[in-house]
Chains A and B, each alone.
Chain A
Amino acid sequence: MNAPLAPSLSFPAVVLWLALLVPLLLGLLAWRFPPRRMLPVLLAGTPLPLATFWLLHRVSAGGELVGVWSLGELQLHWRLNGLAGLLLLLTQLLLLASATYAVGYWRATVLPERAFAGFWPLLGGLAAALGVIWVAADLLTLYAALELMGLTAVGMMLLPGKGAALVAGMRYLIYALVGSLAWLLGVALLLGASGRLDLAGLAATTEPGPVTGIAMAMLAAGLLLKAAIFPLHGWLVPVHASAWTPVSALHGALVVKASFFILMQLWQRLVPEGVAAAWLLGLLGSLAVLWGGLQAWRANELKKVVAWSTVGQLGYLMLAFPLLAGTSAAVATLAWQATWLQLAGHALAKAAMFMAAGNLLLAAGESRITDLAGTSRRLPLPLMTFGLAAVTLMGLPPSAGFTAKWLLLQAAILAGQWLWVAVLVVGSLLTAAYVFRVFRCAFVEAAPRHEVRSLPAGMDLIALLLSLSALGLGLAAEWPLALLRGGGMP
């Protein structure tokens, strides 16, 4: 991004791009000098969310920031509205939490020195890619960021360097490349049809027709593959089960959501009235909820339970499409808020859950659920964290998941789309089934006594903070939702 600066360069814009690109520098720095303690990482990262917080304040007071970078012929558009700002804030907080957790993880397990050093530039790259995805407003920038995100994610998955992780990581790479191919084809079609790539221009010039339809289908297929939406979720579970805990946490919380975010942006601009296709997406989401829930219920390893639960929870997000397409403004507003609240709540809770599960496994030295017997006595804190994160996933109060479910139910009832009410009910019950299956094992008292290892206190604390913030977001939802209503809805 060392392009000639646009004349409209303002102070907030500088702050924004610094917030987006500084993680790259920090990552490179940490590659050279891998951190040995949690505190420096925490201190180095903290200014970033603060900067975003300030930007959000600006946005809520003065409307969205927009801008263009000119690279010769190319024009790269970006904008920062309430939604993008909130997602940026969420991303920075989660990245900071994972980075700090990773230091503890390195101390608690014996990770190869080189692999651990390699984690940091990849993390920086992922941070930059995600940030750019939230603010990008043209298909070219989005493509570049999406590729960067995919490659850094694959790189992080390969870090363990062992059999299962390598196989799963390579499979993920192939899926990601196929997804990119579909995406490129879609972009090419759109470019040929309208000659523009910026989102606002596309929304203005594109007309419904076979070309738009096919292009959107290609784009959607690529993104659904990257977002691991049923039935294209095959790559997700092995990857999550074999990757390092901080990596699975980030991936389940953010990376899959980025593709969903892009899909939503495009859908709203290109085919907002495509009711039939939107229902198809909603149905896919419903199947994801059911299938993910069932598989999580059947899984025997704790990390697989968490990974399958991601497949199921992503399905809830897809319910937004039918509730936004061709419905009244009241329903659309409700569904819009519900979706992003659900996304944020799930991101926080899923990261917390992965970390809590990782802590349980590390401390107990076991990976199967049935081996967790008696952990409620020996490892109360990670188990409690797991439970608190699960409260959000089950949509029980007080949590972001609950408030989002309330909004989603309200939207579905107002729109008269009762199918989604049934999906929400079944999904919640399935989630409770697999969560409490873990607890039933943990509460067994007649267990042989294992020695448990002690972990750095920070690892438990970070997970606990994340799960508590997922709960708190449920009651403090008005502030982010007001920002969402203020801007960001197409």
Chain B
Amino acid sequence: MSGGLLLLATLCTSLFAAVMIFLLPERAFRARTGLNLGAALIKLSLVAWMVWGLSRGGEYSLEFPVLEGLAFALRADPLGIMFAGLSSLLWLFTTVYAIGYLEDSPNRKRFFGFFSLCVASTLGISLAGNLFTFLIFYELLTLSTYPLVVHRGTSQALAAGRVYLRFTLTAGLVLMIGMVALHALAGDIRFGEREILAGLSPDHRPLLVGLFWGLIAGFGVKAALVPLHGWLPRAMVAPAPVSALLHAVAVVKAGAFGIVRLVYDVYGIELSAELGLLTGLVVVAAVTILYGSLRALAQRELKPLLAYSTVSQVAYIVLGIGLGGPLGTIAAFSHLLHQGLMKATLFFCAGNYAEELGIHRIDGLDGAGRRMPLTSLAFTVGALGMIGLPPVVGFFSKWYLGTGAIQAGMPWVIAVLVASSLLSAVYFLPILGRLWFRPGPDHGVGEWPEERRLGRLETHPWLLVPVVATALFSLMAGMLAGVPFSPLEWATRVVNTEYLP
């Protein structure tokens, strides 16, 4: 199969699944499940094929003109395929989880239709070859996640949806203006053509700086950078698989990935450093990391705590970008994957506690480790990874960030890292303590808020399998970090081949 066709096939797998799901009747549960899983598996294997092809020097690109001097361009480069791989892998698990989670609930057709559309957009974002194409899929992502956020149709969900749209649509317009201005200035910039902006005359420098911050503000909304993060904690009213999607697979990641593309592939790291943009990014990231950790500390419910932890964790990616050097870049790219694996695990666990036992509050988790050992083990892996303890992958992100900070001559960043690790220990460790060491209903103390006994195991198998799988991936990605095609190894390869100054 030629390169362009393969790209198109990968993109169309989820699009086709979305259309078919919309066409199927609501009650066609089996057909829909088959379609969902089939599409997820096919897409994962297509992406794996491209990873294999790319590592052997293959080329995948496709484009056609939309306007004079502006093309719709898809291209699989190592960085993009890395993000595509993450989203395809997590999509599989999230789909499995969502099928179990939404069993017997209404509107599943709508849910899974937009779910597939959402993943198609994420794949489009990762494979976009220029800013125009990126924007198309970025906005499509906004539109396709809205029905998921308001899925429950309660007034709380609708209000969260309204806040979500206010933030994301405004940001989309800011992005569009920035991109049009960049296009008017320098023409159609393909990702990787870093020399175009670098070659502009010095008179344009102030304009470039302004455009950069405009675009960062646009991306920063989805990436939940402080002070643009307001929508994220509120979107917690959505069902658990949607939260996983928002936090780990798609939305927040799309924002962070946009910043990566902007800095590395449009401006180029050297020009960004020259214009003094990187220091600004580091400061924004440091503020976001500390603010997110502090707010997480103050939460009494599990899902908002995880939401604020996302705010702080995604900023690690931005921090790595801002540090600039090879080590910081490796940290940024690999954390893009690591955070996804760990955060998906944590949200699946939170969903399991809520579904099986009706637990939403942190103080309700006492003794849950005995009742749900596998889920709690997975939660422990995710939480330890977030704190940054080896051998979970989170450790490597922090290690590279720390060494990257020294390499970049910003040792104060290490203080931020230490503070944030301490803070996350302060909010995660008590939860682990409650899970494993406090007596709970299974020890004869009190009772679960709403126990449902969904399966013969500790909960429904469709809910349990994804949790265990993502936790295992988080562990393995850490323990086998040096093996080819592990996230860290691939990130290092991307940095060495593409972005070394």
Contact = CB atoms under 8 A, between A and B. Distances in A.
User: Is chain B a partner of chain A in the same complex?
Assistant: yes
A421 B184 contact: no
B158 interface: yes
A421 B177 contact: yes
Given A403-B66, A405-B176, A377 B184 contact: no
Contacts of A407: 67
A444 B154 CA distance: 7
A443 B164 CA distance: 15
B284 interface: no
Contacts of A406: 67, 70, 132, 176, 180
Contacts, number: 94
Nearest to A331: B184
Given A407-B67, A409-B177, A428-B169, 8 more contacts: A394-B169, A396-B140, A410-B180, A429-B169, A429-B170, A443-B150, A475-B66, A478-B66
B173 A429 contact: yes
8 nearest CB pairs, A to B: A445-B153, A397-B136, A409-B180, A478-B65, A397-B139, A396-B139, A443-B153, A410-B180
B140 A413 contact: no
Contacts of B162: 436, 440
B153 A444 contact: yes
10 contacts: A377-B106, A377-B107, A396-B142, A397-B140, A409-B176, A410-B183, A413-B184, A436-B162, A446-B154, A478-B67
B297 to A, nearest CB: 34
Interface string B233-268: 000000000000000000000000000000000000
Contacts of B107: 376-377
A478 B169 CA distance: 26
A51 interface: no
Contacts of B183: 410
A445 B154 contact: yes
Nearest to B157: A443
Given A384-B22, A406-B176, A443 B158 contact: yes
B153 A380 contact: no
Interface in A168-203: none
B152 A445 contact: yes
B68 A396 contact: no
Contacts of A487: none
A148 interface: no
A263 interface: no
Given A475-B66, A485-B68, A396 B153 contact: no
A489 to B, nearest CB: 13
B135 interface: yes
Interface string A372-411: 0000110010001000000100101110001101110110
Contacts of A439: 146
A282 to B, nearest CB: 18
Contacts of A478: 64-68
A477 interface: yes
Most buried by A among B132, B139, B150, B180: B180
B110 A380 contact: yes
Contacts of B169: 394, 428-429, 432
A398 B150 contact: no
Interface SS majority for chain B? helix
A391 B143 contact: yes
Contacts of A446: 153-154
Contacts of B22: 380, 384
B181 interface: yes
Nearest to A477: B66
Contacts of B324: none
A337 B107 CA distance: 42
Contacts of A440: 150, 158, 161-162
B184 A414 contact: yes
A280 interface: no
A384 B143 CA distance: 12
Interface string B93-112: 00000000000001101100
Contacts of B132: 406
Interface in B100-146: 106-107, 109-110, 132, 135-137, 139-140, 142-143, 146
A5 interface: no
A485 B170 CA distance: 32
Interface SS majority for chain A? helix
Most buried by B among A406, A439, A475: A406
Interface in A278-333: none
A398 B66 CA distance: 11
B117 to A, nearest CB: 11
A86 to B, nearest CB: 16
B485 interface: no
Most buried by B among A337, A391, A407, A413: A413
Contacts of A376: 107, 110, 147, 153
A446 B155 CA distance: 10
Contacts of A485: 68
B218 to A, nearest CB: 12
Contacts of B29: none
Contacts of A380: 22, 109-110
Contacts of A21: none
A478 to B, nearest CB: 5
B139 A425 contact: no
Contacts of B173: 425, 428-429
Given A396-B172, A440-B162, A445-B153, A477 B177 contact: no
A414 B173 CA distance: 18
B165 interface: yes
Interface string B318-357: 0000000000000000000000000000000000000000
Nearest to A422: B177
Interface in B158-191: 158, 161-162, 165, 169-170, 172-173, 176-177, 180-181, 183-184
A481 interface: yes
Nearest to B181: A413
Contacts of A445: 106, 152-154
Contacts of B165: 432, 436
Contacts of A477: 66-67
A403 B136 CA distance: 10
A337 B177 CA distance: 18
Contacts of A397: 135-137, 139-140
Interface in A139-183: none
Given A377-B106, A406-B180, A398 B158 contact: no
Contacts of B110: 376-377, 380
A384 B72 CA distance: 25
Nearest to B70: A406
Contacts of B146: 436, 439
A391 B146 CA distance: 13
Contact of B147 (A405, A443, A444): A443
Interface in A412-429: 413-414, 421, 425, 428-429
Contacts of B177: 409, 413, 421, 425
A391 B342 CA distance: 35
Contact of A444 (B72, B109, B158): B158
B94 to A, nearest CB: 22
